[in-house]
């Protein structure tokens, strides 16, 4: 008899991670001080570390194990959680003025902790792989729709038992036309599926809504093989073998909790960066001021959340009056850019003053880049969906900027908007930290412009 224990995995992983964190902290304390019991400073750091990990883990859902199993994706989520965790710890140390913490102790702990977690996750995933292949930890699924697609999908699942799916029934298009609403519900519930895969070539909107409603009412996950035409933008794409599947969500707006967490992260991240980066800010100010005539800072009106204008701040990278003939996008070998401007634009250091915009609430660390009204009008003519981006605070960096890069004309700006629209439908801290990580890589590789 197939056994389900997926509901026990998240709390087990959550507790296991906390235990491994404490083990790493204990080993590092023992190696540093040769004491069996933590002293006052180490004990305080232990408490802060545990609270910070709990917050970070609950935010990123690091403990969830998705199907199909991909160890590298899970480890990536863990590393993102670790970065968020460390940011919380450093913020706590700074704002709570926690002194006398051994750097050696902290360094050893956070060298050991990732190794322990990665080893544990590897063992867990290999074990899950084994158990699912032997009929344990299975989810019952039902396939509804086109027979040819259903056969291919069922064959893929049978060839990959590690996915942990047990096909209970298939309802074809012909059967659907012959049964009324209530018998359809009864037929679905009789099989007690955990998930329903919909695979129509041409979807009936009424039927799709009915199936989604059944899923909502009876806690059944609805997943769609995207041969279907969908009206909803709110879907998560998951790949099973060669099959891209859309996990339909009823969410139609950014959750209030996500907005709160995102704003909290913005304030903490910007405060820590500006406080610790003051010497860098000062150096950049002096070099910018002395290498060309004009002010060190440059401000320009941009359009923010809900269409509200605000002034964005940068270290000046162009000569004064660079746009005396009207708005112009920057381009390769732009003669308006100073020699020092080339350096700070390639490393994106010119954007650092915008952390002040973040603290003021005008911007976010991550979000679609703010544009001038002149360019917004031109973008909207070609891509009206751009207006959706105005529901977010604009960002210092964005998925469009790291994935697509800088734009030299309106068409390229429209192409970049597509990436930001994808971000709009998937706003979360996990994505933000991932984008920040990619931005740092761009800065190090000097790929700015």
Q: Where are the domains of the chain?
A: 6-133, 139-248, 256-444
- pTM surpassing 0.85? no
Name residues whose C-beta falls within 8 Å of residue 266's C-beta, 6 or more positions apart in sequence.
358, 364, 365
Hey, what are 168's tokens?
A: 């209970």
Q: What is the pLDDT of residue 151?
A: 84
pLDDT digits over 271-326, tens only?
A: 989 988 899 999 999 999 999 999 999 999 999 998 999 999 999 999 998 888 78
CB 335 within 8 A of CB 414: no
Across residues 351-361, what is the average pLDDT?
A: 94
pLDDT band at 69 (very low <50, low <70, confident <90, very high): low
- pLDDT top residue among 285 and 39: 285
Long-range contacts, stretch 374-378, CB < 8 angstroms, 24+ apart? 374/327, 375/327, 375/329, 375/410, 375/413, 376/303, 378/410, 378/413
pLDDT at position 14 over 60 = yes
What does the pLDDT look like over 198-215, one tens digit per residue? 887 666 677 778 888 888
189 confidence band (pLDDT: 50, 70, 90)? confident
pLDDT digits (tens, 9 = 90+) for 110-156: 999 999 999 998 888 888 778 777 777 788 889 888 888 888 888 88
Identify the CATH assignment for 139-248 out of 3.40.50.300, 3.40.50.150, 2.40.160.20, 3.10.105.10: 3.40.50.150
What are the backbone angles phi and psi of residue 301, rounded to the nearest 5°?
-75, 130
Q: What percent of the chain has pLDDT over 70?
A: 86
């Amino acid at each position: 008899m197939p056994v389900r224990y997926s509901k026990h995995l998240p709390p087990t992983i959550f507790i296991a991670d906390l235990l491994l964190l404490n083990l790493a902290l204990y080993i590092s304390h023992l190696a540093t001080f040769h004491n069996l019991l933590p002293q006052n400073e180490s004990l305080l750091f232990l408490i802060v570390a545990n609270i910070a990990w709990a917050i970070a883990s609950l935010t990123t859902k690091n403990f969830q194990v998705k199907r199909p199993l991909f160890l590298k994706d899970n480890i990536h989520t863990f590393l993102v959680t670790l970065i968020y965790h460390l940011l919380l710890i450093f913020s706590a140390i700074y704002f709570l003025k926690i002194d006398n913490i051994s750097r050696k102790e902290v360094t050893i702990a956070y060298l050991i902790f990732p190794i322990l977690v990665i080893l544990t996750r590897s063992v867990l995933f290999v074990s899950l792989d084994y158990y699912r292949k032997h009929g344990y930890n299975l989810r019952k699924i039902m396939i509804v729709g086109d027979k040819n697609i259903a056969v291919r999908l069922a064959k893929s699942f049978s060839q990959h038992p590690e996915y942990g799916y047990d096909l209970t029934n298939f309802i074809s298009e012909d059967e659907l036309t012959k049964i009324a609403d209530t018998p359809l519900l009864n037929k679905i519930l009789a099989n007690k599926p955990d998930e329903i895969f919909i695979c129509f070539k041409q979807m009936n909107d009424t039927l799709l809504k009915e199936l989604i409603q059944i899923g909502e009412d009876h806690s059944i996950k609805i997943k769609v093989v995207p041969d279907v035409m969908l009206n909803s933008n709110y879907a998560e794409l998951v790949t099973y073998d060669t099959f891209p599947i859309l996990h339909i969500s009823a969410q139609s707006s950014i959750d209030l909790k996500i907005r709160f967490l995102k704003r909290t992260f913005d304030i903490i991240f910007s405060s820590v960066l500006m406080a610790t980066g003051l010497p860098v800010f000062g150096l950049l100010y002096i070099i910018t001021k002395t290498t060309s005539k004009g002010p060190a800072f440059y401000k320009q009106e941009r359009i923010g959340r809900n269409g509200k204008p605000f002034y964005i701040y940068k270290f000046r990278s162009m000569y004064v009056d660079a746009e005396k003939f009207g708005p112009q996008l920057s381009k390769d070998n732009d003669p308006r850019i100073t020699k020092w401007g080339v350096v700070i634009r390639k490393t994106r250091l010119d954007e650092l003053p915008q952390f002040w915009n973040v603290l003021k609430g005008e911007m976010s660390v991550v979000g679609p880049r703010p544009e001038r009204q002149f360019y917004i009008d031109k973008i909207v003519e070609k891509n009206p969906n751009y207006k959706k981006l105005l529901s977010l605070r604009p960002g210092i960096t964005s998925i469009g900027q790291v994935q697509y890069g800088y734009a030299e004309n309106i068409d390229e700006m429209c192409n970049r908007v597509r990436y930001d629209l994808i971000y709009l439908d998937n706003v979360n801290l996990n994505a933000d930290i991932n984008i920040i990580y990619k931005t740092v890589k761009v800065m190090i590789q000097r790929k700015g412009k």
